[in-house]
Amino acid sequence: MLTTIQIDNFAIIDHLEVDFKAGMTVLTGETGAGKSIIIDALSLVLGSRTDASVVRNGSKRADITAIFNIDNLPNVEEWLSEQELDEEGDCFLRRVINKEGRSKGFINGHSATLAMMKSLGEQLVDIHGQHAHQALLRAGMQSKMLNNFANLGKFQTNVRNQWHFWKKLEDELAQLQQSEKERHDRLELIEYQVSELDNFGISADEILNIDDEFNRLANINQLIEETQEQLHLLYQNDQNSAFELVSQAASKIEELSELDKALTPAGEMLHAASIQIQEATEELRHYQDKVEQDPEKLHQLDQRLSLLHELARKHRTDVKVLPELHIRLHEELQKLKNSTERHGNLEEDVANAKNVYLKAAKTLSKHHHKAALTLNKSITDYLAKLGMSGGQFAVDFEALPDERYNSEGIEKISFLVTANPGQPLQPLSKVASGGELSRISLAIQVVTVTDSSIPCLIFDEVDVGIGGGTAEVVGNLLNNIASKAQVLCVTHQAQVASKGNQHYRVVKSSEDETTSTFIEDLKTEQRSEEIARMIGGIEITEQTRKHAKEMLQKVS
């Protein structure tokens, strides 16, 4: 349940902290005082989208924190553990929105995405707004409410998954069928290209080595002549060879080191240098012995390179990429050859997938029809309690043709209603009276949340357009729900407010051209005065006060 909400610099709220208890909490106050703003703030920590306009004028940021007691909520605890957001004790949700419109979310002090906050929020709070009857008219909403009422989520999910799988295979088959000629033309081209590359016998190693080998053979004369020249300079010139000069210097330094030991390292290095010159000379001689001109091989390499570059141009790629291209074309060729077989298999797969979908959809439909019988009676009974005696509610099922099957199933679900006895049932959208639609919506909401697993239910001015005895019935209904879940109710109706176990009054004040909202926790006398205000308006008489006390005593 929701235990606390803290709001800073949100809309006309400067700072507000409210503690909530179990049971039914009512929030009342003058129109425009900010009652629904508190609910709007709560909706943000539950993952709703927002913009910079919610930040209080003159402030850098809005900051909202909601604290929930999650004892006896194993699903919530499991979700937090899976996301590695679990902490000991209460669950903290926080949302910060800066004046540029950017926002940050936190769960138990850890950074969280909007999607994460929404996923968690849906398990903690269910908000029913004053415009819920408008939401009821949206496509798919009535089907969703029936699923929620009968706890058919797993059946609906299965239908949705099977439909998507069926359509995915169907799309694949359609693409194969539409591109059959293109596939055939592509197959002929790829077969030619792969055959050409196969005959060429190209390999990645060859690509790496062929340029080096060609360059070596193309410059073989220069290599022979210049290595011979260096060999002469290093060793074969008897008087001025590098070996002779370094050896002489090594001998002289060795003699001088007898006079000064400091010259010993230099002598050793010169001696080592003479040895290295000998070894380098041997390497050059060995190279000279084996190196030779090979004009035939050079010609072959030249032709091979020309063909490689010609192939690369034909495929509009680089020579180095040809081996990789060869592999890719082989794979594509195999897929194209297998596509004919795949075509036949796919037709069978599509038929099987459709049958699995139909089986799942029929199972869901069976549950829908069974649940509808209970829902019809429950809502019809509540319509009578809400002052619509003779009103009737029914769930209608329209079988869909094959081409209109969808992820929701094989039938269209519609809520039908009649407000007056003897009148035919018709869709909710055809109900003429806004007041009637509000009461019908309220009846639907009350019935569908009675067995809800959500620990906190919020009703934001859902009693708009009703009054008198009907308002008292609404109050009793909400109070009954509060025996199973925490209920927060924003209301203008005294009859509803009197049913609450906890009563807050929201007040707006203006000072020095600044408007702020604050909240008062009403005790017995204060509460009686507030109920009297709601009954009597501007002028409150003793008779009104007496009536208010009677209403409160009636509840207690």
Q: Which of 504, 507, 551 is nearest to 528 (CA)?
A: 551
- For the segment 419-444, the average pLDDT, to the nearest whole number, is 78
- For the segment 402-423, the average pLDDT, to the nearest whole number, is 90
Please check whether residues 118 and 199 belong to one and the same domain. Answer: no
Q: Which of 47, 59, 158 is nearest to 95 (CA)?
A: 47
pLDDT band at 135 (very low <50, low <70, confident <90, very high): low
Cα gap 290→287, rounded to integer Å: 5
Q: Under a CB-based contact definition with an 8 Å cutoff, are residues 224 and 262 in contact?
A: no
Cα gap 268→270, rounded to integer Å: 5
E-strand spans in 468-535?
Answer: 486-490, 502-511, 514-521
Please check whether residues 193 and 56 belong to one and the same domain. Answer: no
Supply the pLDDT for residue 452.
Answer: 64
E-strand spans in 331-462?
Answer: 392-399, 411-418, 426-427, 456-460
| Angle subtended at Cα 486 by Cα 462 and Cα 151, rounded to the nearest 5 degrees | 80
Cα gap 60→9, rounded to integer Å: 8
**Phi–psi pair at 417, nearest 5 degrees:** -155, 150
Name the domain boundary from 285, 305, 335.
335
- Is the pLDDT at 340 greater than 80? The verdict is no
- Is the pLDDT at 432 greater than 60? The verdict is no
In a domain, 321, yes or no: yes
- Is the pLDDT at 293 greater than 80? The verdict is no
304-314 pLDDT per residue, tens: 777 777 887 88
Give the total number of structural domains in the chain: 2
For 224, counting Cβ atoms within 10 Å of its Cβ (0-12 exposed, 13-18 middle, 19+ buried), the class is middle
Other CB atoms within 10 A of residue 83 CB: 15
Cα gap 521→146, rounded to integer Å: 38
- Is the pLDDT at 163 greater than 90? The verdict is yes
| Angle subtended at Cα 455 by Cα 449 and Cα 458, rounded to the nearest 5 degrees | 60
Supply the pLDDT for residue 133.
Answer: 58
- Is the pLDDT at 112 greater than 70? The verdict is yes
- Is the pLDDT at 555 greater than 70? The verdict is no
Supply the pLDDT for residue 22.
Answer: 93
Q: Edge-to-edge strand order for the sheet containing 2-10?
A: 13-19, 2-10, 61-68, 91-98, 103-107, 110-112
pLDDT band at 129 (very low <50, low <70, confident <90, very high): confident
- Is the pLDDT at 450 greater than 70? The verdict is no
In a domain, 555, yes or no: no
In a domain, 254, yes or no: yes
pTM over 0.85: no
Strands 125-128 and 456-460: parallel
Supply the pLDDT for residue 454.
Answer: 82
- Is the pLDDT at 350 greater than 80? The verdict is yes
Both tokens of residue 107?
Answer: 């769960």
Both tokens of residue 124?
Answer: 């903690």
CATH label of the domain that carries residue 114: 3.40.50.300
Supply the pLDDT for residue 434.
Answer: 62
- Is the pLDDT at 28 greater than 60? The verdict is yes
Q: Under a CB-based contact definition with an 8 Å cutoff, are residues 428 and 141 in contact?
A: no
Other CB atoms within 10 A of residue 356 CB: 16
Q: Under a CB-based contact definition with an 8 Å cutoff, are residues 488 and 27 in contact?
A: yes
H or E element that contains 433: none
In the chain, % of residues over pLDDT 70: 94
Regarding predicted confidence, which is higher, 68 or 199? 68
- For the segment 499-521, the average pLDDT, to the nearest whole number, is 87
| Angle subtended at Cα 22 by Cα 21 and Cα 25, rounded to the nearest 5 degrees | 70
Cα gap 101→50, rounded to integer Å: 8
Highest mean pLDDT among 56-65, 123-132, 468-477: 56-65
Regarding predicted confidence, which is higher, 554 or 100? 100
Please check whether residues 189 and 122 belong to one and the same domain. Answer: no
Supply the pLDDT for residue 433.
Answer: 62
- Is the pLDDT at 343 greater than 80? The verdict is no
Cα gap 164→167, rounded to integer Å: 5
> Helix %, strand %, coil % for the chain, to 5?
60, 20, 25
Please check whether residues 188 and 125 belong to one and the same domain. Answer: no
Please check whether residues 119 and 204 belong to one and the same domain. Answer: no
H or E element that contains 16: strand 13-19
In a domain, 138, yes or no: no
Please check whether residues 202 and 320 belong to one and the same domain. Answer: yes
Highest mean pLDDT among 181-190, 332-341, 376-385: 376-385
Q: How confident is the prediction for the chain on average, in pLDDT?
A: 86
Q: Under a CB-based contact definition with an 8 Å cutoff, are residues 458 and 127 in contact?
A: yes
Which residues, listed in sequence order, are joined to residue 15 by a DSSP beta bridge? 8
Which residues, listed in sequence order, are joined to residue 160 by a DSSP beta bridge? none
In a domain, 415, yes or no: no
- Is the pLDDT at 416 greater than 80? The verdict is yes
Q: Under a CB-based contact definition with an 8 Å cutoff, are residues 2 and 488 in contact?
A: yes
Q: Which amino acid is at 365?
A: S
**Phi–psi pair at 101, nearest 5 degrees:** 100, -5
Please check whether residues 118 and 220 belong to one and the same domain. Answer: no
Cα gap 24→497, rounded to integer Å: 10
In a domain, 86, yes or no: yes
- Is the pLDDT at 449 greater than 80? The verdict is no
Both tokens of residue 334?
Answer: 């195999």
Supply the pLDDT for residue 201.
Answer: 77
pLDDT band at 1 (very low <50, low <70, confident <90, very high): very high
Q: Under a CB-based contact definition with an 8 Å cutoff, are residues 24 and 501 in contact?
A: yes
Long-range contacts of 132-136 (CB under 8 A, 24+ apart): 132/441, 132/442, 132/445, 132/462, 133/428, 133/437, 133/438, 133/440, 133/441, 136/415, 136/428, 136/441, 136/444
Please check whether residues 96 and 5 belong to one and the same domain. Answer: yes
Please check whether residues 93 and 212 belong to one and the same domain. Answer: no
Please check whether residues 124 and 21 belong to one and the same domain. Answer: yes
Regarding predicted confidence, which is higher, 277 or 430? 277
- For the segment 442-469, the average pLDDT, to the nearest whole number, is 78
Cα gap 357→379, rounded to integer Å: 31
Please check whether residues 189 and 323 belong to one and the same domain. Answer: yes
Other CB atoms within 10 A of residue 511 CB: 7
Cα gap 437→135, rounded to integer Å: 12
Q: Where in the sequence is the domain holding 250, given as residue range(s)?
A: 183-335
208-244 pLDDT per residue, tens: 677 777 777 777 778 878 888 888 888 876 668 888 8
Q: Which of 137-141, 150-154, 256-260 shows the lowest per-residue confidence on average (mean pLDDT)?
A: 137-141
456-490 pLDDT per residue, tens: 988 888 777 777 788 888 888 888 888 888 999 99
Q: Which of 36, 38, 24, 127 is nearest to 454 (CA)?
A: 127
pLDDT band at 134 (very low <50, low <70, confident <90, very high): low
In a domain, 466, yes or no: yes
Name the domain boundary from 273, 302, 335.
335
Which residues, listed in sequence order, are joined to residue 411 by a DSSP beta bridge? 399
Please check whether residues 190 and 100 belong to one and the same domain. Answer: no
In a domain, 549, yes or no: no
Cα gap 468→457, rounded to integer Å: 24
